[in-house]
Structure 1
Amino acid sequence: MQKWFIILFLCFSLNAVAQEKIGITEEDYQNDRIEMADVMRSEGKIYVVVGIIGIIMGGILLYLINTERRIAKLEEHLNN
């Protein structure tokens, strides 16, 4: 019964359209501005985004360092 549900859902998912196809024009190739970044920079929000990314990366780095220390202690304990 589960196999039939999986096959049924796969058939429906193949018919799903995720995005509408938009044609690329010559104007798109000429665009050298990133409007979202310009707006965020003008409003001062870009610094908030950079700060949050920095905090997340710092947290990941601290987690990896802490995990490495624990693994080193376990390896040392195992070797003794």
Structure 2
Amino acid sequence: MKKIIFLLFLLVCCTAVFAQPTQQVEMADTMRSSGKIYVVIATICIIFAGLAFYLFSIDRRLKKIEKEK
């Protein structure tokens, strides 16, 4: 019974995705044409890299503390 409900849920989700309008995003086209989209992508990548570095450093510290105990 759970599998059938899950399958129906997935089918409903898929139909919601196909129901989206196919209009273009004007802001993205403007930023892409002027080259500013690359600045936005670079900024997001830097933020994610910083977060990943921070999380890995916290993980290393926790492993040290766990080994000491």
What TM-score do you get using the length of structure 1 for normalisation?
0.59
Length, aligned pairs only:
50
Which structure 2 residue ranges, 5 or more long, are not aligned? 1-19
Q: C-alpha root-mean-square deviation of aligned residues, in Å? A: 1.4
Partner of 1:71: 62
Which of these two proteins has the greater Rg computed from alpha carbons? 1
Structure number with higher helix proportion: 2
Distance in 1 separating the partners of 2:22 and 2:65: 55
Q: CA deviation at 1:49?
A: 0.1
Change (3 A) 1:71 1:30: closer
| More RCO (CA 8 Å, sep 6+) | 2
Distance in 2 separating the partners of 1:30 and 1:61: 35
Which structure 1 residue ranges, 5 or more long, are not aligned? 1-28
Q: CA deviation at 1:30?
A: 5.6
Q: Any idea what SS the aligned residue of 1:32 has?
A: coil
What is the identity percentage for the equivalent residue pairs of Structure 1 and Structure 2?
Answer: 46
Aligned positions of 1:34-49 closer than 5 A? 34-49=25-40
Distance in 1 separating the partners of 2:45 and 2:26: 23
Q: Does 1:54 align with 2:45?
A: yes
What TM-score do you get using the length of structure 2 for normalisation?
0.68
